[in-house]
Amino acid sequence: MEPPYWYYPVRQSFGKALLKSDRFQEAEAIFREDLRQHPNNGWSLNGLGKRLQAQGDNQKASEVQQQFQKAWSRADINL
């Protein structure tokens, strides 16, 4: 279907729902899969960073936050 019915990767919403449900491992897998298909996707980088921070993995969370800042540097909205 062109254009697709969904105008953004659905994994972003699914990952956020998993985070809210404290299903952190599943959320991480969803965000990482989205990043494989859409590298440097700011929404998924933001979600992955929140997941890593929630699990106390501050080193990796910091690395992902840096990637997010670079990807989101020209965005006109704040997450």
Assigned token pair, 75: 């965005």
Q: What's the CATH number where 38 sits? A: 1.25.40.10
Per-residue pLDDT reduced to its tens digit, 50-72: 999 988 999 999 999 999 999 99
Instruction: Give a yes or no: residue 36 inside a domain.
Output: yes
Structural domain range at position 62? 11-71
Per-residue pLDDT reduced to its tens digit, 25-40: 999 999 999 999 989 9
* Cβ 44 vs Cβ 37: under 8 Å: no
How many structural domains are present in the chain? 1
Compute the C-alpha angle 64/21/65, nearest 5°: 10
Model pTM score: 0.83
Instruction: Give a yes or no: residue 78 inside a domain.
Output: no
- 């919403």: which residue's tokens? 13
- 């929404």: which residue's tokens? 43
